[in-house]
Amino acid sequence: MMEASWAAVLVNYREPDRVDAALYAFREFVRRRVRAVVVDNSAGGVDFNTTAGDVFIIQNQRNLGYAAAINQAMDLVEANFILLLNPDVSGWHGSVDSIAEAFKDSSVVAVSPRLRDESGAVQHSCRRAPRPFDFLSETLALAARFPRWSRPRRLRMLDWDYADERDVDAVTGACLFLRRSAFERVGPFDERFFVYGEEIDWLVRAQQLGYRTRYLPSVEVTHIGSASTPASRPVLDRLLIESHYRYIGKHFGRATELALRAALFTLDALRVARHPTAARDLIARMRVHLGIKYERPA
């Protein structure tokens, strides 16, 4: 049997030094030749040099967003399995043979390792296929507000210890192996997602075609959350809300999307009255609820 080939795709946004470290760590884990494509969305804002070897760099003149950048890279890579890798991922543990073994089942479209933060705590990276209430719950942080209520824990699978290998509906895309051949059937990432949610949308679409996503805790990586998206928390929050609406409208219809927009607009309007010092950020969120496109990071 021909040896599996591997490639890596990274999207950079003003963090070029992290890319080298991420690629070196992955190549040491795989211990074989790995072709890499780096898409630089920094809009010419950095001098990008890498010493990691065998790296093709696409430098965009503006920030196209994550989904569009991944699609650019996928057009250029030829390998059996492609790793979507955030630049803030390092510290690999386990064996690449475990990942190759999981992919021997032709129905497996994606494999995700267990993610830990710098302190060693497990990150809740797996997802059940989102439902409208899940996004309401996430926006209102209901899992933290009502820790004994099981329903808000559904989306991020907080009712599970992440210790066992299993199929999941979807995972976040910080460190995600994809079967290249399935990409043609499932289709490209939906570029209407600027950031957040595009990988979940893709994996849910793959699941609808009969593919499976496998969570593999025998392989672990260290992931510094949000380090690869250097923007302020309010900006990321608004972009996340936009992605929530995009997902709901696509998978549940326009009427459900409008109902969710109305509910969250009303809640944020009440917050303005109760917390006038936070009015500026809340009004910016309300504009997103109204469908006014939020300005993308340059």
Question: Do 200 and 120 belong together in one domain?
Answer: yes
Residue 102 lies in a domain: yes
Instruction: Work out the pLDDT band at 3, boundaries 50, 70, 90.
Output: low
| pLDDT for position 78 | 86
Residue 137 lies in a domain: no
Mean pLDDT of the chain: 90
Q: Which position has the higher pLDDT, 106 or 297?
A: 106
Question: Looking at the predicted structure, is the pLDDT value of residue 231 above 60?
Answer: no
Mean pLDDT of the 201-215 span:
98
Residue with tokens 């080298």: 20
Phi, psi of 40 (to 5 degrees): -95, 110
Q: What is the 3-state secondary structure (H, E, C) of the chain?
A: CCCCCEEEEEEECCCHHHHHHHHHHHHHHHCCCCEEEEEECCCCCCCCCCCCCCEEEEECCCCCCHHHHHHHHHCCCCCCEEEEECCCEEEEECCHHHHHHHCCCCCEEEEEEEEECCCCCECCCEECCCCHHHHHHHHHCHHHHCCCCCHHHCCCCCCCCCCCCEEECEECCCEEEEEHHHHHHHCCCCCCCCCCCHHHHHHHHHHHCCCEEEEEEEEEEEECCCCCCCCCHHHHHHHHHHHHHHHHHHHHCHHHHHHHHHHHHHHHHHHHHHCHHHHHHHHHHHHHHCCCCCCCCC
Mean pLDDT of the 186-209 span:
96
Question: Do 200 and 80 belong together in one domain?
Answer: yes
Question: Looking at the predicted structure, is the pLDDT value of residue 2 above 50?
Answer: no
Domain extent for 278: 233-289
Question: Do 198 and 270 belong together in one domain?
Answer: no
Question: Looking at the predicted structure, is the pLDDT value of residue 33 above 80?
Answer: no
Residue 193 lies in a domain: yes
Residue 154 lies in a domain: no
| pLDDT for position 1 | 38
Contact 88, 227 (CB under 8 A): yes
Question: Do 281 and 174 belong together in one domain?
Answer: no
Question: Do 198 and 264 belong together in one domain?
Answer: no
Mean pLDDT of the 205-214 span:
98
pLDDT digits over 128-157, tens only?
Answer: 999 999 999 988 889 999 988 999 999 999
Residue 69 lies in a domain: yes
Question: Do 115 and 243 belong together in one domain?
Answer: no
Question: Do 14 and 91 belong together in one domain?
Answer: yes
Mean pLDDT of the 65-86 span:
94
| pLDDT for position 48 | 62
Question: Do 63 and 181 belong together in one domain?
Answer: yes
* Model confidence, pTM: 0.92
Question: Looking at the predicted structure, is the pLDDT value of residue 52 above 60?
Answer: no
Mean pLDDT of the 30-40 span:
88
Give CA–CA dist 242/66, Å, rounded: 14
The CATH code of the domain that includes 38 is 3.90.550.10
Share of the chain above pLDDT 90, in %: 69
Mean pLDDT of the 231-251 span:
88
| pLDDT for position 15 | 81
Question: Do 88 and 203 belong together in one domain?
Answer: yes
Instruction: Work out the pLDDT band at 43, boundaries 50, 70, 90.
Output: confident
Of the listed ranges 7-21, 106-120, 160-174, the one predicted with least confidence: 7-21
